[in-house]
Structures are given as C-alpha cells and as structure tokens.
Amino acid sequence: MAASMGQQPPSASGPPQNPAAAQAQAQKEAEVDPIIKIKQLLLPRLKESLVALMKVAGQILHQNSISDEGHKQQDGLQQAYEKSIEEFYAICDQLEVNLRLALEMQAQQIDSNKYTPLPVTIPKSDMTMSEQQSVPYPQFLVTVKHQITFAKDMYEMLNEFTKKLTER
C-alpha cells in the first residue's frame, strides 16, 4: 500500500540512516526548538523536583505532627524544603522562558509566512522540484532591503507630517 501512494519502503533505495547521525540531528533540533527542549530536558527535571519537594514537605508535616506530641524536632528539614522549592521555582522559570520563546518563534513564523510565502533556499547547483518553487537567498535579501527602505520612507513621511502638524 505504501508503494501505491508514491512512497517507497524504508529498505528501498537510499543509504540506511546512521543512528549516530539521527541522534545528532535530534539533539540539534532540541537545541533549536523550545518545545522539544521542554519535553526532553525540563519536564523530567520538573517531575523529579516536584517529587523531592513533596517528599520533604511530607517529612516536615510528619515532623510537625510528631512535635505536637512532644517529641524533639529534626534539624535541617526546613533548609531542605527551601532548597527543594527554589529548585522547583527555577525549573518553572526555565519552562516559562522556553514557552515564551516558542510563542515568539510562532509569531515570527506567522509573519514570515505572511510576508515571504515561499521558503528561502540557498542556491545549489542541483535544484529539486520543491526548491524551484522557493525564493533564492539573494532575491530574499533584495526583498528585505526593499522592505527596510519602505519602512524608513514611511517613518520619514510620518515624521514630516507630525512636524508640519505641530507647526500649524
């Protein structure tokens, strides 16, 4: 069925993927994509931190119930609790930063798709069909320069307008 849809089975033409290369590609994506970074790096640490925090909080609660009965309190639990809660908050802060980064990247991608609907490619000698339907990098640079010039012209016109308006 895969062959009938234009796809080839994995064992067909092409060299098999190197596991080390696939792992390096996944690691490179994790460095760039904040969502992957959150899933791989922060969520396991967040779970561990929350478990440690709850364990220390439970120990403190147990210690407080024992001390109500007149037994001696253990020292160091309060410091362990403060350390655990600081670690938890630090991971939450990292999570927030990465989620904000993901939102900014999404907004940038939306703007990029709006103003440059075709993908930008670096010219190569052998172009595939999908690359022929894209904007070459030099042409993209020209487009960006035109947009910057247009923005500067608009800024100058608005500046002149406000000066003339205030003079009257």
Q: What is the pLDDT of residues 60-118, one digit of tens each?
A: 998 888 887 777 777 788 899 999 999 999 999 988 998 898 899 899 888 888 877 77
Q: What is the pLDDT of residue 145?
A: 92
Rounded distance between C-alpha atoms, residue 43 and residue 39, angstroms: 5
Within-domain flag for 159: yes
* Whole-angstrom distance, CA of residue 165 vs CA of residue 168: 6
* Torsion angle (degrees, nearest 10) of CA 104, 109, 110, 114: 140
Q: Is the pLDDT of residue 127 over 60?
A: no
> Is 31 found in the same domain as 91?
yes
Is there a single domain that holds both residue 29 and residue 107? yes
Residues 104 and 128 in one domain: no
Q: Are residues 106 and 134 in the same domain?
A: no
The DSSP annotation for the chain comes to: -TGGGTPPPTTSSSPPPPHHHHHHHHHHHHHH-HHHHIIIIIHHHHHHHHHHHHHHHHHHHHHHHHHHTTPPPPSSHHHHHHHHHHHHHHHHHHHHHHHHHHHHHHHHHHHHHHH--SPEE---SS--HHHHTSEEHHHHHHHHHHHHHHHHHHHHHHHHHHHHHHH-
**Are the C-beta atoms of 134 and 121 separated by less than 8 Å?**
yes
38 in the same domain as 81: yes
Number of domains in the chain: 2
Statement: the pTM of the whole predicted model exceeds 0.85: no
Is 131 in the same domain as 90?
A: no
Q: What is the mean pLDDT of the chain?
A: 79
* 141, part of any domain: yes
End-to-end, the C-alpha distance of the chain in Å comes to 76
Residue 31, pLDDT score = 65
Residue 3: per-residue pLDDT: 38
Verify that 90 and 139 share a domain, yes or no.
no
Q: What is the pLDDT of residues 9-56, one digit of tens each?
A: 344 444 445 666 666 666 666 566 778 878 887 888 989 999 999 999
Domain annotation covers residue 13: no
For residues 146 and 107, state if they share a domain. no
Whether residues 110 and 36 share a domain: the answer is yes
* In a domain? residue 59: yes
Is the domain of 31 the same as that of 111? yes
Tell which of 75, 96, 115 closes a domain: 115
* Residue 57 pLDDT grade (very low, low, confident, very high; cuts 50, 70, 90): very high
Per-residue model confidence (pLDDT) at position 1: 36
Total Cβ atoms within 10 A of residue 136: 16
Residue 7: pLDDT band (50, 70, 90) is very low
Its domain, for residue 127, covers 123-168
Which of 71, 97, 115 is the last residue in one of the domains? 115
131 and 99 part of one domain: no
